[in-house]
Chain A
Amino acid sequence: MSSIAVRLEHVSKKFRKGELHDSLRDLLPALASLLWKRKSDVIGDRSEFWALQDVTFEIPRGEAFGIVGANGAGKSTLLKLISRIMNPTSGVLEVHGRLSALIEVSAGFHSDLTGRENIYLNGTILGMTRREIDARFEEIVEFSGLCEFLDTPVKRYSSGMYARLGFSVAAHVNSDVLIVDEVLSVGDYVFQRKCVDRMKEVIKAGTTVLFVSHNLKTIAEFCQRCILLERGRLLKVGSPNDVIQSYINSTRISRATDDSKPIAISQVHIRSRVGESVRFDSGETVWVDIEVTARRSCSKMAVVLFVTDEAYYEVFNTSTERLGCGNFNLEPGETFACSFELQLNFADGTFHPSVLIYRYDTETEYDRWESASSIYVGSASDVRGAVNCFPKVVKHEIVKAGANLPELEEHRLLGPGVVAKEDL
């Protein structure tokens, strides 16, 4: 077998914009007008757009490969082309080996069938033979943790159970190339960890894996290489850190262009001791440099800095005024610059520092820059949740032989940080 798992050469995909001719009633007038007008009038450039344009890259066998990009950048289209659900408009696309996709893992479920029946149905849809499913049935059920509900129709499942069963089937398909699209966030926290561990196993076993995720941490954690897509074009191929950095830069530029506001945030930069970065260690000291420019005169302004986690839940909030440096007034054209020093006591994860211009006495919001950038924090020890309390085990011993250990284990998994996230 070739050493390349997936190869794309100048792949482009064009879509029609707007209504398709869904019924003959629509089509006939359209055809008639085609006859009368010149062809270019009807099918002009405006009625179609390129979802992907001239994309070329290769994925060697066994590599974990990430795809990053904003909504509408063409990620899903790219995955649909690779999984052969659609054909490219032009270009060459090769996939070597058996491919399966973890895209909406429960797509093949039928709500009237039981869990057991759906495992077989979904398994065959994903390309397994019945014998293969027989062989892995126990494993799938065990993984899903839904043993007692196997003979219940899945319409009575909760959405979490539904997704868990779907993922469990899909994660046990033997394939050479696996496409994973935003599905690692199914189920509760314990199950998510299980999914992540399963993915690591799959990668270790030599499967080529394609990841699409808005969770930059997942990408950084799993992938050896990454591409950045923007409006259908491939902007960058490289290591996850490089690519994520340029992704964040590109989202920054596209936001600072609105003229209508009297005062606007013009810059947000995050740097550590060594310089500007997006990847920080937990507990590291960082500086957030913010610049605000006035177009009209404004008074009694304050800069609010808040941080949200990857689910955009606010985990931290402060402001210049609340930190005791009063408020500021600006004349047109003037710029206010400030720097916050923060100690990043966050646990592992992606966080979005966001900035707000606010006047406290009138409770007016002037400008808001939601997730001005995304940073990801990594810690040396295994801490989960939103914050890092820098835990240490300072005493561990068996008091009564064997009795306490399982309890301890459970306690760790369902710790306080997790509860905070599930409240979302």
Chain B
Amino acid sequence: MIAQLRELYNYRELLYMIVVRDIKVRYKQSVMGFLWAILMPVLIVSAGVLVRYAYGIASHKPLAMDDVVSVAAKSIPWAFLVSSIKFSCQSLLANHNLVTKVYFPKEIFPIAAALAQLFDLFIAGLVLVIFLAVAKVSLSLQLLWAAPLLALTIALAIGIGLIVSAGSLFFRDVRYIVEVFLTFAIFFTPVFYDVSIFGAKGKWLLLNPVAPVLEGFSSIVRGQAPNWNWLGYSLTFATVMVLLAYAMFKKVEPAFAENI
């Protein structure tokens, strides 16, 4: 695996070029251009706020600014995760030509697909920061945890991306399964709601490795420290998954060209 990682490192320029290509291609010949990168987070945050507003009515508590901020801080990484899994999943099939014609480490495709989404995340993040500033969220040092939390999100995205991209190469169903799964995953993940509303049963939701990360984002914008135990769980999960996914990917990679 060390040798494989070293090879990947040697191809880092290609990874970079593919990321740049994916970003460029997405915004070429579109009238809205970069506005697309904002539209999606605005939509998802609005949906979240609407859901929170409905809770508020049901539980006779008015919608607090805190809740809106929390939904925004969770929705944006979630949108990144969803779109990077979706694009990773298709990446090998979309680059069919290169998979069967040229030799290089093929994990570059799912990884690049996930990294290309960082561009959208960055733009959405800027909007979020402006929003936080307007909402007068008090700055706390806890916000620095955003970087490691983001790294963890990326790791989860890449890990899942490696598995589903190789899977969909062999079995086209994987793509449909992933799409259906991603559509409904938002209900099983605390994006629009907080785990705390489930009380003691909330821990079952936190078993979803994405949940502690999103809860972490929510905590830090409120100036609180994340839940270290659950984050540790997520970190362990992500590390093991990335390593296993990578090993699996490299194991089936030689069969790509003849099975695509």
Find chain B residues with CB under 8 A from A104 CB. 97, 101
Who on chain B is nearest to A20 by CB? B259
Does A107 contact B97, Cβ atoms closer than 8 Å?
yes
Does A121 contact B17, Cβ atoms closer than 8 Å?
yes
A86 to B260 Cα, complex, angstroms = 12
Report the minimum CB–CB distance from A49 to chain B (whole Å). Answer: 13
Does B171 contact A112, Cβ atoms closer than 8 Å?
no
Q: Which of B23-31, B40-48, B196-204 is the contact stretch?
A: B23-31
Report the minimum CB–CB distance from B256 to chain A (whole Å). Answer: 8
**B17 contact from A20, A21, A112, A124, Cβ within 8 A:** A124
Does A125 contact B104, Cβ atoms closer than 8 Å?
yes
Q: Which of B1-50 contact A (CB under 8 A)?
A: 13-14, 17-18, 21, 24-25, 28-29
A120 to B14 Cα, complex, angstroms = 10
Report the minimum CB–CB distance from A83 to chain B (whole Å). Answer: 5
Who on chain A is nearest to B27 by CB? A112
Find chain B residues with CB under 8 A from A130 CB. 13, 17
Find chain B residues with CB under 8 A from A21 CB. 171
B140 at the interface (CB under 8 A from A): no
Does A87 contact B98, Cβ atoms closer than 8 Å?
no
Does A108 contact B13, Cβ atoms closer than 8 Å?
no
Find chain B residues with CB under 8 A from A15 CB. 258
**A121 contact from B21, B103, B104, Cβ within 8 A:** B21
Find chain A residues with CB under 8 A from B254 CB. 86-87
A407 at the interface (CB under 8 A from B): no
Who on chain A is nearest to B101 by CB? A107
Chain A positions 1 through 24: 1 when the CB is less than 8 Å from some CB of chain B, otherwise 0: 000000000000001000011111
Known: A22-B172, A107-B98, A125-B102. A113 touches B258 (CB 8 A): no
B66 at the interface (CB under 8 A from A): no
Who on chain B is nearest to A153 by CB? B28
A110 at the interface (CB under 8 A from B): yes
Does A85 contact B102, Cβ atoms closer than 8 Å?
yes
Find chain A residues with CB under 8 A from B224 CB. none
At the interface, is chain B mostly helix, strand, loop or mixed?
helix
A113 to B104 Cα, complex, angstroms = 21
Does B257 contact A124, Cβ atoms closer than 8 Å?
no
Report the minimum CB–CB distance from B98 to chain A (whole Å). Answer: 6
Does A126 contact B102, Cβ atoms closer than 8 Å?
yes
**B13 contact from A110, A112, A124, Cβ within 8 A:** A124
B227 at the interface (CB under 8 A from A): no
Chain B positions 233 through 248: 1 when the CB is less than 8 Å from some CB of chain A, otherwise 0: 0000000000000000
Does B24 contact A84, Cβ atoms closer than 8 Å?
no
A23 to B259 Cα, complex, angstroms = 12
Report the minimum CB–CB distance from A136 to chain B (whole Å). Answer: 15
Does A112 contact B257, Cβ atoms closer than 8 Å?
no
Who on chain A is nearest to B106 by CB? A85
**B103 contact from A22, A85, A110, Cβ within 8 A:** A85
A125 to B106 Cα, complex, angstroms = 11
Known: A22-B171, A113-B25. A86 touches B17 (CB 8 A): no
Does B28 contact A103, Cβ atoms closer than 8 Å?
no
Find chain B residues with CB under 8 A from A23 CB. 171-173
Does A24 contact B173, Cβ atoms closer than 8 Å?
yes
Does A120 contact B17, Cβ atoms closer than 8 Å?
yes
Who on chain A is nearest to B176 by CB? A23
Does B102 contact A112, Cβ atoms closer than 8 Å?
no
Does B171 contact A108, Cβ atoms closer than 8 Å?
no
Does B98 contact A125, Cβ atoms closer than 8 Å?
yes
Who on chain A is nearest to B254 by CB? A87
A117 at the interface (CB under 8 A from B): yes
A417 at the interface (CB under 8 A from B): no
Chain A positions 115 through 136: 1 when the CB is less than 8 Å from some CB of chain B, otherwise 0: 0010011001111011000000
Report the minimum CB–CB distance from A197 to chain B (whole Å). Answer: 25
A22 to B168 Cα, complex, angstroms = 9
Report the minimum CB–CB distance from A84 to chain B (whole Å). Answer: 4
**Most central of A101, A107, A126 by chain B CB within 10 Å:** A107
Does A112 contact B103, Cβ atoms closer than 8 Å?
no
A104 to B255 Cα, complex, angstroms = 21
Does A27 contact B13, Cβ atoms closer than 8 Å?
no
Report the minimum CB–CB distance from A246 to chain B (whole Å). Answer: 30
Report the minimum CB–CB distance from A26 to chain B (whole Å). Answer: 9
Q: Would you mind naming 27 contact pairs between A and B with Cβ atoms under 8 Å apart?
A: A15-B258, A22-B171, A23-B173, A24-B173, A80-B100, A83-B102, A83-B103, A84-B103, A85-B103, A86-B254, A86-B257, A99-B103, A101-B103, A103-B101, A103-B102, A107-B98, A108-B102, A112-B24, A112-B25, A112-B28, A113-B25, A113-B28, A117-B24, A121-B21, A124-B14, A127-B104, A129-B13
> Considering the complex of A and B, which 6 residue pairs feature the smallest CB-CB distances, nearest first?
A87-B254, A107-B101, A84-B103, A124-B17, A124-B14, A107-B97
